[in-house]
Amino acid sequence: MTVIEIDHSRTRAKAALHRSEADKTVLKKAGANRVAAHRISRVVPQAVSGRLRRIKWAILLLTLSIYYVTPFLRWDRGPNAPDQAVLLDFAHGRLYAFFIEIWPQDLYIVTGLLILASVILILANALAGRVWCGFACPQTVWTDLFLLVERLIEGDRRQRLKNIEAPLSAVRLAQIGAKHTAWILISLLTGGTLIFYFTDAPDLVLALASGEASVTALTWIAVFAGTTYGLAGFAREQVCTFMCPWPRLQGAIWDPEAFTVNYRDYRGEQRMSVKKAADLRARGEAAGDCVDCGLCVNVCPIGIDIREGPNFACINCGLCVDACDSVMTKLDRPRGLIDFESWDNIERGRRGEAPVTRLMRPKTVALTAIAIGLAAGLALLLATRATGALAVLHDRDPLAITLSDGSVRNAYTVKLLNKAQVTQHFTLAIQGIDAVMSIVGKDDGTPIAVEPDGSESLRVTLTMANPKDANVVFVARDETGGTVLSASDRFVVR
């Protein structure tokens, strides 16, 4: 039976007891009880180098570059539209993303994109667990950035543990001040950049530089900067463990065949020192590869011990893999004691069976097909959607008017909406009934001009000489672009 740890507070307490000899020396000098209690409540991860750490740095640079640069990219949409490539123009009810323009009437597309993102996230989870959390989640990226600043100013884990209970000095105060100043600057840059997505970025930069930015913009920058400062600087792993809903969903979607970070206990146990293991092996007896150095726990940004089994708090960042591999390399032992491995393969290893890789299985194939189908459907919707809209509202009081010659007249409000960036000229007609259409205030047959990103409301009457209840279809045809819009309503006699 597989036991999966959900509440890792107990794991932290146990990990505090299995610290390295260097940490024990630190605790003796700084006051063991107080520091141990602090460490249980606060994770102080150690820096590590390796293949996965380099991948994380590359993803950090890529994602931060995309985030900070994107608002300043330009995209020519014509003279009547903003030229910012990505813009959430809530003031005018538009979402722009390069060649895509989303109107309020197109929010079903946004819904589809959110569903597609959810399916892709579940697919990634079926393949490699919480790999999104460990490598590309904004909380992880900004926490790594803040930790980098902290290490550069205050030193690595051992030095930061010493600083916890060390008396304040001029040097220590300068370090604290420099660290928080850097954090605040990063937070302000982050908050300001997020605001750039909601307004023209160069204009807002000039307004900020000249002191003419609105109070609303400054307020939101402060809010987002404060959020970044608090979550990345202080909350850190608490966000991943307690605030984010994704770990709580793992019980429903955890897949034992997904390649997640796992400890090959059948190879690592029993844990013992290098010297004792060498003595046992010299006598032909079994000895585990794990030397219980605790480095895998020290580098973990969540503060868990992966050797205790699957844990929902694990974000699959793989830093413990790099840490363990570095130790195995120094000891001239095979790497991969901790590795990205499926739990089914861990159990196969315990039974002495060969590992089996099953990335292509019914679950992943179905999720991939759903994702491709959703993406294709959204692409088709974007390619075929109209550049305008037609809405018809029947007059209610009265529904119909009987004229002196016995004919019946119905009145409607017809609204034409132009989503294009050029003026459209619509010709209005009706289908389905034999009636005379008249547009109040307009000459019969004259195209109706609708300005770019604008609308036009028309008063339309239909008169039927031989009245009968029937469905009527209003058709608006753009004479320049060929767009055809339609809307149905009802012609009533009484």
Assigned domain for 285 exists? no
Tell me how far CA of residue 257 lies from CA of 118, 164, 268, 340, in angstroms: 20, 41, 21, 11
Model confidence over 267-301: pLDDT tens digits? 999 999 999 988 988 888 888 999 999 999 999 99
Q: What is the pLDDT of residue 341?
A: 95
Give the Cα separation of 410 and 395 in Å (integer): 8
Give the end of a domain, one of 245, 266, 281.
Answer: 245
Hey, what's the torsion of the CAs at 3, 336, 140, 260, to 10 degrees?
A: -40
E-only strand ranges, 80-125 = 86-89, 94-97, 100-102
Assigned domain for 291 exists? no
Give the Cα separation of 120 and 280 in Å (integer): 48
Token code pair at residue 235: 């909350």
485: nearest Cα among 414, 410, 421, 422: 414
Give the end of a domain, one of 219, 245, 271.
Answer: 245
Q: What is the pLDDT of residue 248?
A: 80
DSSP code for 289: S
Say if residues 191 and 223 touch (Cβ distance below 8 Å): yes
Say if residues 116 and 371 touch (Cβ distance below 8 Å): yes
Q: What is the pLDDT of residue 445?
A: 72
Please, what's the b/e burial string for 453-486 (b: 16 or more CB within 10 A of its CB; e: otherwise)? beeeebebbbbbeebeeeebebbbbbeeeebebe
| Cα Rg of the chain (Å, integer) | 32
Tell me how far CA of residue 423 lies from CA of 98, 118, 416, 418, in angstroms: 21, 38, 12, 8
Assigned domain for 396 exists? yes
Neighbours of 443 (CB within 10 A): 6
Please state the domain count of the chain.
2
489: nearest Cα among 465, 464, 463, 470: 470
Low-confidence ranges of the chain (pLDDT < 70): 1-41
Q: What is the pLDDT of residue 25?
A: 52
Give the Cα separation of 154 and 90 in Å (integer): 43
**CATH code (residue 476):** 2.60.40.10
Assigned domain for 346 exists? no
Assigned domain for 376 exists? no
DSSP code for 272: -
Tell me how far CA of residue 378 lies from CA of 108, 112, 180, 367, 373, in angstroms: 10, 7, 44, 16, 9
Q: What is the pLDDT of residue 421?
A: 79
Assigned domain for 134 exists? yes
Long-range contacts of 404-411 (CB under 8 A, 24+ apart): 405/465, 406/465, 406/467, 407/463, 407/464, 407/465, 407/467, 408/463, 408/464, 408/467, 408/493, 408/494, 409/461, 409/462, 409/463, 409/464, 410/461, 410/462, 410/491, 410/492, 411/459, 411/460, 411/461, 411/462
Token code pair at residue 286: 């079994």
Domain boundaries, position 444? 388-491
CA count, 13 A, side-chain hemisphere, 9: 6
Give the end of a domain, one of 196, 229, 245.
Answer: 245
Percentages helix, strand, coil for the chain (3-state, rounded to 5) are 50, 15, 35
DSSP code for 84: B
Pairing of strands 260-263, 338-341: antiparallel
Q: What is the pLDDT of residue 172?
A: 92
Give the Cα separation of 300 and 278 in Å (integer): 28
Model confidence over 11-33: pLDDT tens digits? 444 444 444 444 555 445 444 44
Tell me how far CA of residue 263 lies from CA of 51, 117, 272, 307, 324, in angstroms: 18, 30, 16, 5, 10
Q: What is the pLDDT of residue 96?
A: 92
Q: What is the pLDDT of residue 23?
A: 52
